[in-house]
Amino acid sequence: MNNAEIKSILEEASSVAVIGVSSNPERASHQVAAYLIEQTHLDVYLINPTVTGEILGQPVYKSVADLPIVPDIIDVFRKGEDMPAVFEAEFPAIAESAAGKTWWMQLGITNEEVAKLAADAGMKVVMDRCIKVDYMNLIPEGK
């Protein structure tokens, strides 16, 4: 996926779910979530089934199924080998409105099997890219 396509995804989205967000400020998932909340136009939903309460002042949900909306971007911080299980667990909650949504695998994460499943469902697929870096580089300030 090229930068123009990524830019279009980010500009057109109004919401993002961050799956695998950490309460540890040293972790990339925490830093990316903080950036998305503080510096972007996106409504950010945090997902981690092992966390109760809040991270960054936001409620933490157990799964996509628990969200009040179906987010435009599903941003996943899980190892590539864990991706099929994550997709299998989370996809049913978005299946009916999957077309046009984006399954985003963070920097360093790829899984061709999941990419095909998501694409076959009509989703856009981003692999091995950081949503924070792409937003910083592609979206003009003040968006």
Q: For the chain, give every domain's residue range.
A: 3-138
H/E stretch holding 61 reads strand 58-61
Rounded CA separation 78/7 (Å): 23
CATH, domain 3-138, list 3.40.50.720, 3.40.1350.10, 3.10.20.310, 3.40.640.10: 3.40.50.720
Q: What is the pLDDT of residue 140?
A: 81
pLDDT tens for each residue of 43-56: 999 999 999 999 99
Q: What is the pLDDT of residues 84-98, one digit of tens each?
A: 999 999 999 999 999
74 and 64 Cβ atoms separated by less than 8 Å: yes
- Is residue 58 classed as helix, strand or coil in its secondary structure? strand
Residue 82 has phi, psi (to 5 degrees) of -85, -15
pLDDT attached to residue 143: 47
pLDDT at residue 142 tops 70: no
